[in-house]
Amino acid sequence: MVERIDPERIFGFDSEADRNRFVEQDYLIRSGMCPNGHGLLAETDYGQRCEQCGFFTNTRAEGRRDA
Ligand SMILES: [Zn+2]
């Protein structure tokens, strides 16, 4: 079960909107979803990648170990 980061624990953003956007993107990435709205990310050697927009991250999805 992936959970969102507590926004209270995140620093260094200029506005609450930026911080909330980061929390949402982080949540999607850790859920294995493209933060740009393209659905599931493909797993790669280094992390995950979106086949559609080329977004990539070295953050792996959580909760796939049981799959
Ligand atoms: Zn994408």
pLDDT given at position 63 = 72
CA of 54 to the centre of ligand 1 (A): 6
* Average pLDDT per consecutive 10 residues, the chain (67 residues; last block may be shorter): 91 94 96 97 96 96 66
pLDDT given at position 67 = 46
Residue 29: inside a domain: yes
Tell me the sheet residues that pair with 49: 42, 56
pLDDT given at position 48 = 97
Residue 39: inside a domain: yes
CA of 12 to the centre of ligand 1 (A): 25
Report pTM. 0.85
CA of 41 to the centre of ligand 1 (A): 8
Are 47 and 30 in contact by the 8 Å Cβ rule? The answer is no
**How many Å is the Cα radius of gyration of the chain?**
12
pLDDT given at position 65 = 53
42-43: strand order across its sheet: 42-43, 48-49, 56-57
Domain count, the chain: 1
CA of 19 to the centre of ligand 1 (A): 20
CA of 26 to the centre of ligand 1 (A): 14
Domain membership of residue 39 as a residue range: 15-57
Residue 2: inside a domain: no
Residue 10: inside a domain: no
